[in-house]
Chain A
């Protein structure tokens, strides 16, 4: 095994990391602010991929077409889920957490059937945009340019979300509503609107994840269920509600798998769960989470 092999394995792990991060970031945001477990997160990711497929077919595989799709497709999905939040989810925030769990789980199943109804049974893939069809040469070997793009987009999204949360008024309102929603409402801030916007943002991040994955993978309606599980594992390892935690957790999962399969390829399916189990034993509140004291 040469050191270039290890470097490439690291870069591959980084690609996986960014995909995991994008699915999980929205979930952790919604969890942190709205304090609800959004089971439908995986379904949003899946719909992001499928709408990207449709828009890319509409605009063609050109570079401009891809750019337009990246802007429009996740926005369409996010708006759809904002409407869903207003009409459906909003009513259940004050009720016991079980209700929201069931409702979002129902939404997940509904997205699965929706995808099958709209896009049909056959597996699909979005065309790879022209500008990414050539590889990048790293130390004499080929690495897909699209992976470089994906990794950069992952970092970009992380900083974008961090910026929104910590450096904008909107972010301040989010953090305030997360800390104490009654007080925030008392200060005249429209808390339900903040919640809807956060839900929309969380959905938008997941949809971008799906959009970025669309040209590099095949898509089937059940990819949302798998993605949803990954999202939860990452969020639990990260610490519920922590954004930097989500990135670190995604990184650990991605790299443990990437290097694990070099040594023990038979256990490929288990690595992520092993990380989860270790974290739950050693630090059950997650890497960046706070221990909950039950009085």
Chain B
């Protein structure tokens, strides 16, 4: 009895096993399996203090990826492959960012990583990517060390960096008649980096001298003592890397002291993320530096991007959206050039890729020696615009990225010393 049951069980399992082996073969012949999507892991601080801007990076990126997916996907050697995005929140903490990176690459099996708005996050993820030979594309975090002394083969950056930003402003003002500079920057790594970068550029291009520096902490609600201290030193021009609520608060409070009537002001990254919320309380005639000023409708590429972004998200894009969009454009161009998303081949392709970004910046390229893009920055003066509830920039000039970057020799020297 037992033997009969065992035999029948054995027979049926053999038959079932044979059927299982047979079927896939026939299915393969009948239909072509779609290619698996390319998975991009995004590490970004979507919660916390900078989440508004961080989300705009992501949205800009998504707009480009959606455009590609709607056409069927990105072109690779094997055919069209769609792109899938997996986003992880690093809560502005570098250790969580590294956890995100591990999870995205090792568990979720993403092909590569994109992300970071904060410098500490980008350095942490960069270190992990280097150790694990995973490609990591930075779209926004600024510390120049990431492509400088701590750069490596697996790290790319599409935005500018603190070295370039600071030198850009100094480069622009070197021929202008201002010599006495006052500084106000938030007292943390970003503010310190931007300050050092401008001061170095100021010395290099002989743009002037520093008469005062002020260091309010991030999130200061009351700038009044800093304002009066700045004014007491009587600078001709103020250079500020304040952003977010700090920039808004500083400008509102400085108006009451007549600061902008007595001296000029140059605000780094005083673009849409500031102009939009501050609205009519902004001041006319101050300099603003931004990578992507609001120009709408503008040239056809502008209008196309702005309209696409507005259709997909319901609002007009800001400077950060453009950064995300550029990152995606670079990556897609790299995949098409390499014909694959496989890390080493993709890196080789990306090292020399160029893209056309929206006006006014034009064409930007990755530099092979350090994987830093030569994305310049624009400078303009604020002015009221009856068409919009926010101020826009006029007399926009582009400061190209190349003259503000350190030479390849300098960077390779630094990297050798850091080891």
Q: Which residues of A contact B (CB under 8 A)?
A: 1-2, 5, 8-9, 11-13, 15-16, 19, 121-125, 127-128, 135, 141-147, 213, 216-220, 222-223, 226-227, 254, 257-258, 261-262, 265-266, 268-269
Contact = CB atoms under 8 A, between A and B. Distances in A.
Interface in B237-271: 244-249, 252-253, 255-258
B84 to A, nearest CB: 25
Interface of B: 48-49, 51-52, 55, 187, 212-217, 219, 221-222, 224-229, 231-232, 244-249, 252-253, 255-258, 276-278, 281
Given A144-B257, A216-B249, A218-B246, A13 B225 contact: yes
A213 B222 CA distance: 9
A223 B217 CA distance: 12
Contacts of B48: 222
Contacts of A142: 256-258
Contacts of A219: 245
Nearest to A262: B229
Q: Label chain B's interface by main secondary structure.
A: helix
B244 A220 contact: yes
A268 B217 contact: yes
B228 A217 contact: no
Given A8-B228, A218-B277, A269-B187, A261 B214 contact: yes
Contacts of A261: 214-215, 225-226, 229
Given A1-B232, A9-B229, A128-B281, A123 B245 contact: yes
B232 A8 contact: yes
Nearest to B243: A123
A265 B212 CA distance: 8
Q: Label chain A's interface by main secondary structure.
A: helix
B278 A9 contact: no
A265 to B, nearest CB: 5
Nearest to B53: A121
B232 A125 contact: no
Contacts of A254: 225
Contacts of B252: 125, 128, 216-218
A265 B214 contact: yes
Given A141-B258, A226-B221, 17 more contacts: A5-B228, A5-B232, A9-B228, A11-B224, A11-B228, A12-B225, A121-B51, A125-B278, A142-B256, A142-B257, A216-B249, A217-B221, A217-B253, A218-B246, A222-B219, A268-B215, A268-B226
Contact of A12 (B215, B219, B227, B247): B227
Contacts of B225: 9, 12-13, 15-16, 254, 257-258, 261
B222 A16 contact: yes
A142 B257 CA distance: 5
Nearest to A7: B228
Given A123-B245, A144-B257, A265 B222 contact: no
Which of A127, A218, A220 has the largest count of B CB atoms less than 10 A from its CB? Answer: A218
17 contacts: A5-B231, A9-B225, A12-B228, A15-B224, A123-B52, A125-B249, A135-B256, A141-B258, A142-B258, A213-B221, A218-B244, A218-B249, A218-B278, A222-B219, A223-B219, A223-B245, A268-B214
